[in-house]
Structure 1
Amino acid sequence: MRNPSPSPSRTVSVRCAGLPTLMGAPALVFSRLSGTERLCELFEYEVQLKTPDARYAPSGPAANLDTQALRGQELTVAIELDGSGTGPVGRTGVGTREITGLITDVRGPIPQGRQIAYCLTLRPWLWLATLTTNFRVFQQQTVVGILEALLSAYTFPIEWRLDVGRYPSREYQVQYGESDFDFFQRLTQEWGISWHIAHSDGKHRLVLTDANSAFAPYTSPAYHTIRWQRSADRIDEECLHAFVLHDRLVSGQWASSDYDFVKPGADLAVRSAAPLDTAHAEAEIYEYPGDHGQPATDNDPWREGGHLAQLRMEALRQHGSRASGRGHVRAMVPGCTFKLSHFVQDKANREYLILGTDLEIEDVPEVSGMGQQWRCEVAFTAQPTNVLFRPERTQPKPRTSGPQTATVVGPEGEETWTDAYGRIRIQMHWDRIGQRNANSSCWVRVSSAWQGNRFGAVHVPRIGQEVVVEHLNGDPDCPIVTGRVPNRLNMPQWPLPAQHALSGFVSKELHGERANAFVQDDTQGEIQTQLQSGHQTSWLGLGFLTRVLHGAGRKDKRGEGFELRTDGQGVVRAHGMLLTTERRANARAHHKDMGETVERLAVARAQQETLAELAQQHAAQDAADQADHAEVARAIQQQNEDIHGTGTANADAGSFPELSAPHLVLASPVGIEATTARSTHLASGEHLALTSGGHTSLAVGKRLLASASRGMRIFIQSMGWRLVAAGGDIDLRALRDSINLLARLGITATADRITLSARQELVISGGGSSTTYGAGGITHRTGAAYVIRTASYALITAQRGAVAFPPARKPGQGNLELFNRYANHTGIGGEFRVEDALGKAVAGRLNAQGFAAVSGLAPGPATVSFGKDPADTWVEASHVGQPEWPPRVARTEEDSAVAQSAAGLVAEQVRAAASRASELGQTLQSARQLHC
């Protein structure tokens, strides 16, 4: 379009503080403008300036322009708008369109005949963001908040036409080596935010929008409606001479899904469908991941995913209806709307949003001989305003190319910092902004060699350690820790390469220096495995035992086999246990195999029974003794059966019958030795059976003290019984009954003096003759000759000598208090039975508080058993409750406990008195038994 200009004013002019002047007039004037401007893209215009036609200036201000100072300044191109209508009065919409941008490139001076020319490139201030790249982290911010933080470094105006409430917070977003502009472009495209540059008042500003309602017609009414006109026709207004509609078949559905480890079974699939009214409009695009899962946050993945899917669908659908055109229109501005009129297709005459333009304006020089002329040509693309505009996702998210390393961080003073999922905080090495604390990153998941529901392997990385970080799908917003590596501050557990044969795990005490370790030593010929704890130097060593120290490695050799040791207390607890030195080379047979042990126990039981039968045959045991021995025999038999087990072994199922009851079995083919510097105590609640196939030897450094509450039976099959006291007396006492001595041959008593005393009568008999000594005199009886041989014989006056015996003491009376309660101290009623040391049995019933007092018992040990709990086990009173310390001994219907008499002191006094009485009556009782 050419238009004569009768006045000296120019249709296009430029303003810039850095341009030179000459005698108050611009030294450089507009010559040509061409460029491209589109929604959501950086515009670029090239402006050509030259010296005026009437001024020849081969040198001077124009030729010596400071181009370096000109770069970075704002320059405004002002384009006069003639408006529409005929004549000065009829024109409407007269004004000026501005195009303002930063001068980013200057080429010149360029001599052109008698003139000097310069070519300047204009770009928006947002183009400065392409000059800056960065790595940085944004946490718990919406996309609007991230954009505000990103653009805060640029001091240029921004207009926010956004519904900020629709944007959810994002836990973790990374600008990953991108320029500020690329990061800006990626976020706006991802969240459907469009942007364009608005020009006015010699400035340009960034405008961000998320709805078509933010777009409006250009300020000049002359461009609210633009007429289509055939190029051959002449009209008195700017118009379009080309317009083309473009309808396209597009996909009609968008679907995506994602994964949330907090909702691992949830279906996070979302879909948005808006097919056009065409054939084949149901095609679907599926994307994974949809980036709408925000694990362990309050975000709603379905709502956010649905919003993103709708944005993607809108971006697809807008391509179904587009338009393009050309014309001599100076105010065809991207981001503005216009209404088309007079087009040949009626439905095309509607409102459109201008998406982009290619503009060219040129002033024809006066020296051409054509007078001052100008030419304007614009090509544009547009879409109907009833179709939502969404930016295309042309800016891809950067992808990581491989593993990286980072440092584990957390609050000051902590050694570990984790959450319920074992996640940690890290600071990437590229992060210049993070403060190496708990805010340096989001919670990052840690890969494990094994993970299940409450089982697997857990090794939470410690603060300060260097970890290997990878990213799911290469997404820098999705870090995951996959390993750990040593560095100068975190060296390997043992010195390398010297300790290269060691492998395993070593942990470190939090806020301390001790360690726990699982060590495998693969030294040739000396392999071992150790499990260690630095507390009380506790460890289990298996194999070739070599001390392995934390931080030092292998030290002194300590033997072969295994060692379980600690400086503290040790407990071995099992439901049945075999400790044996019966060798099974190379782990032959199953672990409870103890054939030799069972055989020895069977032989010992047979020996017990054989000798018991001999004792019964020789009257060493009476009927009551036989019953007691039978009880012992049954107990031994039951023990042997429990140890041997019943049924057959099933190696395929790993089932073996031994130890069907929780016995502790000690076995050795050579010997069992026990020693202590102090005392040894063996206690059995029922019976104690000792069997020796050879000799049994007792060596006692002081006294041998033996007590039996219900008798003692000793049987020697052969070779007799010898009792010798090298010093002191030998006392045999029967405090209540008799002492009976029986010998098949003879009884010999040899001493310096033998005294036989009887309180009532002493009878000495042999071979049918006897002598009786009593209070009534002495009577000699014989059926044969009575011979007295003596050197002298005398009869004197009668003299009576009374024999004194200590009085027999009655056994003391013991008292016993019984308690049977639940863990919450509520009493357990029911029956009880007590058997005292002399076999006396007492039965009764506990009261409601679970208490009973029993008196009249013999002092000494007693056996107590409780009957069945009469209460309902589901009532509140029977609640077991939490463990207490010190622990209480739980009693059930199966439990029995040996209770010590409450009259222990009385019992001790009775035993002392009985001992004294025995000493006083020893001589008399011995004489009586000898006489019998």
Structure 2
Amino acid sequence: MADNEFRIKSESPANDDLMFWRIVGQESLSRPSAYELRVLSKNDSIDPKKILGYAFDVAIEFQDADGAKHERHAQGHAVRFVRAAPVGRYTQYHITLRSWFWLLTKRTNSRIFQEKTVRQVIEAVLEDSPIKRFQKTNFDQVKGAHPERRYCVQHQESDYQFLSRLLEDEGIYYWFGGHDAPGTMHFADNSIVAHDKLPAVDTLLGLKSGASETRYNEFDFFWEAQAAESGKYASRDSDFKAIKVKLKGDKSDPDSHELADLEIFEFPGGYFQGDDSGEVAKIRMEELAARRQFFHGLIAWPDVAPGWCFHYAADGPGPQDADYLIGRCAFVVAHPGYEGTPLNSFRNEGGELRKVLEALSPGDPLNAGDADLVDEFIGIRAENGSTSVNQSFVIAALPAAVPFRPQRQTQRAIMPGPQTAIVVGPPGEEIFADSHGRVKVQFHWDRYGEEDEDSTCWVRVSQPWAGKGWGGYFIPRIGQEVIVDFINGSPDRPVIMGRVYDDDQPIPFASHTQSGFRTRSTPKGNASNFNEFRFDDEKGKEQVFLHAERNQDIEVEADETHWVGHDRKKTVDHDENVEVKNNRTEKVGVDETIDIGSNRTETVGANETITIGSNRDETVGSSETVSVGSDRTHTVGANETRSVGASETTTIGASRTDTVGASMTQNIGASLTQNIGAAVNVTSGGAMTFTAAGGFNIIAPGGTKIVDFSLGQIGGQNQIGYAFQFNFSGINTEANAVKAEATGCTNAAIGIKTEFVGCDTRSGMTVQQMVALEALSNATGIEMDALKVFL
């Protein structure tokens, strides 16, 4: 096999001072490539600043069996520079190179992505990174459906860790090109169709029986290794929008061994919809199946590199003819030597190569086993005296027909505990929530959010009680600080667990003995606009306080009981309406005072009974009208006094009966007028006395009849009249058996004409008869001359 040629290409100012000496590399699917490049230089004081950070491309030029030249590259950025022991007359330097993607381990960030696919997230992270000038990506082999992630959070993770776990979750893997376009990061999600055959020779052979030295594309060893992996995968998850739907993803692909029915169960499954669960289960099962069978080989052919397929042509026992995908490659390539240096014969003394490989990938379980194989394979080759030890490539390959999925080795981000955040929303809004009562927040660590409705996803809010259309419900408002926890520790699943006060949102009560609830009217409410329910527990001043900024509605479907141990005061600044649809009983133990500033209307649909145990005073400042639609009975057990300050009018539509058990006295300060529509009957069980200081007039156009009339005192003297009767009909007057005596009386009659027809009159009356006649004339309005006719 012809000697290789080596070139180091870099923009480093010290590049021309460097001579290739040896390179140890570790390359893998879904891992950044890592190399230890050892160089020699005549310059014994190279400034590390001229090395660190620069990209170096180490090209290994080799020839195939036909003498055609090919190149194999190892490309990375210098992240470590060490001055080592000299080699001959040269100074030796060790430079650690890593793929540009590894540089993201040096950048930690916290940020939120919403409604983005994993590719969009990757591109956004790389675009925001200082290494964007280095990044070269190729997504041509990502063929599967990778839906947008509704909410995806990077929290205190390096960019490398964040992107690595996303890729692993999605079943997307990557590798770095070792041939054309070195340093390009290729992505794929279907290994069956994503990879080409090796560019130089696509078929690799096994070492022929009896051969002592491999040639070109022949393996020294190509061994098979199998492992017992679980043959079933199951997961569960939940979606609060369909909480009764059991989200599950089950997949089985058992192997033929005795433990094939072992199952891996995961919760949460990492999906929010049942439609996603099947794809997730498929990816997880393929991840398990890809670990069952690997083939390890040792070869001196530099063409091998991860991401390439080859056909293995078997010769003898062991793996049979098949196509394989190279998953990992660990190698060492050394320069044979320069003038002035000893022969560069790499014998792997003391497990030197193993130490280098372990230093390149500390703690990486994926590559840990490769160091053991390299140690074993190269040790065997060295023991056999092989001259190709300086050019050894140890590969791990899997059958190309088996889908490859990356192992989920990257630690998931686990939130260490609750955090606080500020509720946010659109400008000008005070409350911003969706139909599920979710709000949006701005985390204190979020440097990209703009404290608006796009800062986070909708975040559910824990409530004191959550039933089916019932429970407690308090919505955090914009500007309030809330406590956010994370379901299962996932930063992608925040939930608000509480609220806290701060200097911008102070506590509502000045005294620490007070507790309760105080709201704020919205929109544009101020400190004086609120509803409040407050407790004060200060000893001796205990209080329950309720304030309604506007209306208060209380509904009690059954009984309501109030007990007040002392005074009760109720003030209604406007109207009050009380409706009792059944009976009402009101009991006042002592006095009751009702003060009505204006009118009062009281309507009783049926009977009303008022019982007063003692006195009652009723004062009406102005008019009073009492209207009784039917009968009214007024009973006074003792005396009744009624005083009317002005006129009184009594109208009775029918009969009226006044019954007075004893005497009745009427005192009228002025005139008395009685208008009676029909006859008047006055019956006195005893004497009847009329006293008229101004005269006594009887006007009876229909006639006057007096039966058994006795005149008491006339003209200052006592007179007695017996059995006389007057009948006056029109102008007719009859007097029968009247005896009148009048003495010293005068009578005046003006404008009266009396005619007597068929009457016998006598004269010669005594004084007493004349006085009586005058009194009778005054009482009846009849001329005395006319009366004389009858006497």
Name the residue aligned to 1:193. Answer: 172
**Alignment partner of 1:462 is 2:382:** no
Name the residue aligned to 2:593. Answer: 673
**Alignment partner of 1:451 is 2:466:** yes
Name the residue aligned to 2:25. Answer: 35
Question: What's the secondary structure of 1:75's corresponding residue?
Answer: strand
Cα shift at 1:679: 2.5
CA deviations 1:835-877 (Å, max 9, x no partner) are xxxxxxxxxxxxxxxxxxxxxxxxxxxxxxxxxxxxxxxxxxx
Q: Partners of 1:322 and 1:381 in 2: how far apart? A: 6
Cα shift at 1:339: 1.2
CA deviations 1:76-118 (Å, max 9, x no partner) are 111122213xxxxx44x63111111111111126423322111
Q: What amino acid sits opposite 2:9 in the alignment? A: R
Cα shift at 1:463: 0.9
Q: Partners of 2:197 and 2:166 in 1: how far apart? A: 28
Q: TM-score, normalised by structure 2?
A: 0.76
In structure 2, the CA distance between the partners of 1:245 and 1:794, relative to structure 1 (3 Å rule), is same
**Alignment partner of 1:349 is 2:321:** yes
Equivalent position to 1:94, from 69, 72, 75: 69
In structure 2, the CA distance between the partners of 1:688 and 1:112, relative to structure 1 (3 Å rule), is same
Q: Is the 8 A contact 2:532 2:548 kept in 1?
A: yes
Structure number with greater Rg is 2
Q: Is the 8 A contact 2:237 2:248 kept in 1?
A: yes
Question: What's the secondary structure of 1:222's corresponding residue?
Answer: coil
Cα shift at 1:476: 0.9
Q: Partners of 1:196 and 1:748 in 2: how far apart? A: 140
Question: What's the secondary structure of 2:325's corresponding residue?
Answer: strand
Equivalent position to 2:309, from 337, 351, 362: 337
In structure 2, the CA distance between the partners of 1:352 and 1:165, relative to structure 1 (3 Å rule), is closer
**Alignment partner of 1:473 is 2:463:** no
Cα shift at 1:29: 1.7
Q: Partners of 2:688 and 2:331 in 1: how far apart? A: 147
Name the residue aligned to 2:375. Answer: none
Name the residue aligned to 1:506. Answer: 518
In structure 2, the CA distance between the partners of 1:391 and 1:775, relative to structure 1 (3 Å rule), is same
Q: Partners of 2:487 and 2:683 in 1: how far apart? A: 98
Name the residue aligned to 1:362. Answer: 334
Q: What amino acid sits opposite 1:512 in the alignment? A: G
**Alignment partner of 1:15 is 2:15:** no
Q: Partners of 1:199 and 1:731 in 2: how far apart? A: 136
Q: What amino acid sits opposite 1:74 in the alignment? A: A
Q: Partners of 1:303 and 1:263 in 2: how far apart? A: 13
Cα shift at 1:250: 2.0
Q: Partners of 1:255 and 1:667 in 2: how far apart? A: 73
Q: Is the 8 A contact 2:198 2:310 kept in 1?
A: no
Name the residue aligned to 1:534. Answer: 549
Q: Which aligned pairs between 1:448-847 and structure 2 lie closer than 5 A? A: 448-495=463-510, 499-510=511-522, 511-513=524-526, 514-535=529-550, 561-573=567-579, 576=580, 662-708=582-628, 710=630, 714-715=634-635, 719=639, 727=669, 750-752=691-693, 753-758=695-700, 760-765=702-707, 771=725, 773-776=727-730, 777-778=732-733, 791-792=744-745, 799=752
Question: What's the secondary structure of 1:671's corresponding residue?
Answer: coil
Q: Which moved more, 1:319-328 or 1:158-167?
A: 158-167
**Alignment partner of 1:120 is 2:95:** yes
CA deviations 1:620-650 (Å, max 9, x no partner) are xxxxxxxxxxxxxxxxxxxxxxxxxxxxxxx
Q: Partners of 1:164 and 1:571 in 2: how far apart? A: 74
Name the residue aligned to 2:155. Answer: 176
Q: Partners of 1:686 and 1:543 in 2: how far apart? A: 29
Q: What amino acid sits opposite 2:5 in the alignment? A: T
Q: What amino acid sits opposite 1:68 in the alignment? A: K
Q: Is the 8 A contact 2:249 2:280 kept in 1?
A: no
> Tell me, which stretches of 5 or more residues in structure 1 are unaligned?
52-56, 85-89, 294-300, 546-558, 577-660, 802-932
In structure 2, the CA distance between the partners of 1:144 and 1:788, relative to structure 1 (3 Å rule), is farther
Q: Which moved more, 1:181-190 or 1:154-163?
A: 154-163
Q: Whose relative contact order is higher, 1 or 2, with alpha carbons under 8 Å and at least 6 apart? A: 2
Q: What amino acid sits opposite 1:423 in the alignment? A: R
Q: Partners of 1:121 and 1:526 in 2: how far apart? A: 76
Q: TM-score, normalised by structure 1?
A: 0.65
Question: What's the secondary structure of 2:599's corresponding residue?
Answer: coil
Q: Partners of 2:95 and 2:403 in 1: how far apart? A: 36
Q: Partners of 2:428 and 2:117 in 1: how far apart? A: 32
Q: Partners of 1:800 and 1:424 in 2: how far apart? A: 114
Cα shift at 1:378: 1.5
Cα shift at 1:201: 5.4
In structure 2, the CA distance between the partners of 1:725 and 1:336, relative to structure 1 (3 Å rule), is farther
Name the residue aligned to 1:67. Answer: 48
Q: Is the 8 A contact 2:62 2:69 kept in 1?
A: yes
In structure 2, the CA distance between the partners of 1:460 and 1:731, relative to structure 1 (3 Å rule), is farther
Q: Partners of 1:396 and 1:798 in 2: how far apart? A: 140
**Alignment partner of 1:208 is 2:161:** no
Percent identity, please: 25
Q: What amino acid sits opposite 2:506 in the alignment? A: M
Q: What amino acid sits opposite 2:261 in the alignment? A: E
Cα shift at 1:671: 3.4
**Alignment partner of 1:225 is 2:225:** no
Name the residue aligned to 2:380. Answer: none
**Alignment partner of 1:389 is 2:404:** yes
Name the residue aligned to 1:415. Answer: 430
Q: What amino acid sits opposite 2:275 in the alignment? A: R
Equivalent position to 1:254, from 229, 233, 256: 233
Name the residue aligned to 2:274. Answer: 302
In structure 2, the CA distance between the partners of 1:385 and 1:799, relative to structure 1 (3 Å rule), is farther
Q: Which moved more, 1:237-246 or 1:162-171?
A: 162-171
Q: Partners of 1:307 and 1:27 in 2: how far apart? A: 53
> Tell me, which stretches of 5 or more residues in structure 2 are unaligned?
346-386, 555-560, 641-659, 710-721, 755-791
CA deviations 1:865-905 (Å, max 9, x no partner) are xxxxxxxxxxxxxxxxxxxxxxxxxxxxxxxxxxxxxxxxx
Q: What amino acid sits opposite 1:353 in the alignment? A: L
In structure 2, the CA distance between the partners of 1:78 and 1:710, relative to structure 1 (3 Å rule), is closer
Q: Partners of 1:503 and 1:755 in 2: how far apart? A: 89
Cα shift at 1:705: 4.2
Q: Partners of 2:233 and 2:85 in 1: how far apart? A: 54
Q: Partners of 1:43 and 1:790 in 2: how far apart? A: 164
Cα shift at 1:456: 2.1
Question: What's the secondary structure of 1:473's corresponding residue?
Answer: helix
Q: Is the 8 A contact 1:98 1:202 kept in 2?
A: no
Structure that is richer in strand per residue: 1
Q: Partners of 2:545 and 2:723 in 1: how far apart? A: 85
Cα shift at 1:337: 0.9
Q: What amino acid sits opposite 1:675 in the alignment? A: D
Q: Partners of 1:748 and 1:230 in 2: how far apart? A: 169
